Amino acid sequence: MDTCISRFFLFGNEMKKKEKFAKYNNVNGKSLYEVIRISDGIPIFLMEHLERLENSAKIMKYQISITRDEIIDGILKLIKENEALNENLKLVINYIPRENTDDNTKVEEKFLAYFVPHSYPLKQQYEEGVKTITYHAERSNPNAKVINNSFREKVNEQIKNKGVYEAILVDDEGFITEGSKSNIFMVKGSTIITSKVINVLPGITRQFIIKTCRKLNIEVKEEDILERDLKLLDGLFISGTSPNVLPINSVNELSFSSSQNSTIKLIMKGFNVELNENKQKFVKYIENDTINK
């Protein structure tokens, strides 16, 4: 069960005190979610996260009653009330069946937004890279961001037991797909390779890394890479809300000098530029929205 680390959380359009979180954090039924990084009080890639949330609902054949504007207004109020500067904010839409039925239209819909514990990589981890393992598992709906506590508990146990940062998922055919809570990019020569989007969660950071590569004239290929071919790569990196672009220095027993790879270093710098541009874009959006109101 999640922990709310801030003084206030949102339930629908209502601001609630942290002490009441357990009462409203219902884990029954199915839940869609997004985790958004707050940087300098600004929700990073917010519009893209909301688009993905809507797409997840479409895939799972659910409706979202709360509007996008209501969610944005709620997030801004939550940031202000909690004086949040650099945090991770979780959005959850919980669907609870009203009766014994598989009909997704007969559900009670609940929306929550709250700040969750986060762990951002240390400077040393960016400079040296992080350790990873492979983990053989497939997601039932890889394109939809759905809470799956059973999967999370199992993979977290392996990550903890092996003392690594992340687990790289391998499907039943032996192909690399994604990380357990991230996307994975691989480097071969000057080309970036990542799994086909149909096989993975279409990560927001992943989307902007591909955009960054195109701006830098770095070739990106979406193709299948077998686990046994990892040894042929020149480097790998993790992408995600908390790590952004994080080099990998090992996968199981294989070692890589990813943090020293010139292509990865170029992408890390380019992505930081993209982050700052997105923050400025959101500030202008809020300013224009305020004027129009």
Q: What is the mean pLDDT of the chain?
A: 92
Q: What pLDDT is attached to residue 80?
A: 95
Q: What percent of the chain has pLDDT over 70?
A: 95
Domain segments of the chain as ranges: 8-116, 123-277
145: left (phi over 0), alpha (psi -120 to 50) or beta: beta
Confidence of residue 103 (pLDDT cuts 50, 70, 90): low
Compute the distance between CA of residue 229 and CA of residue 179 in angstroms, rounded to an integer.
Answer: 17
Q: What pLDDT is attached to residue 102?
A: 59
Kindly state the average pLDDT of the residues 96-110: 71
Cβ of 240: how many Cβ atoms within 10 Å?
23
Kindly state the average pLDDT of the residues 259-288: 93
Kindly state the average pLDDT of the residues 91-114: 80
Kindly state the average pLDDT of the residues 237-264: 97
- Least-confidence region, from 74-88, 101-115, 207-221: 101-115
Q: What percent of the chain has pLDDT over 90?
A: 79
Kindly state the average pLDDT of the residues 38-59: 94
Q: What pLDDT is attached to residue 192?
A: 98
7-31 pLDDT per residue, tens = 999 999 999 999 999 988 876 788 9
* CATH top class, domain 123-277: alpha beta
Q: What pLDDT is attached to residue 107?
A: 81
Q: What pLDDT is attached to residue 65?
A: 93
Confidence of residue 291 (pLDDT cuts 50, 70, 90): low
Alpha helices in the chain (DSSP H): 21-24, 46-59, 68-82, 123-128, 149-162, 204-215, 262-292
Q: What pLDDT is attached to residue 25?
A: 86
277: pLDDT strictly greater than 90: yes
Place of tokens 């039943």: 172
Closest CA to 89 of 108, 75, 74: 75
218-248 pLDDT per residue, tens = 999 999 999 999 999 999 999 999 999 999 9
Q: What pLDDT is attached to residue 290?
A: 63
* CATH top class, domain 8-116: alpha beta
C-alpha separations of 120 from 71, 74, 88, 107, 191 in Å: 25, 25, 10, 36, 27
101: pLDDT strictly greater than 60: no
Closest CA to 271 of 129, 126, 76: 126
How much is the pTM? Answer: 0.87
135-182 pLDDT per residue, tens = 998 877 777 777 677 888 899 999 999 999 999 999 999 999 999 999
Q: What pLDDT is attached to residue 1?
A: 66
Q: What pLDDT is attached to residue 293?
A: 57
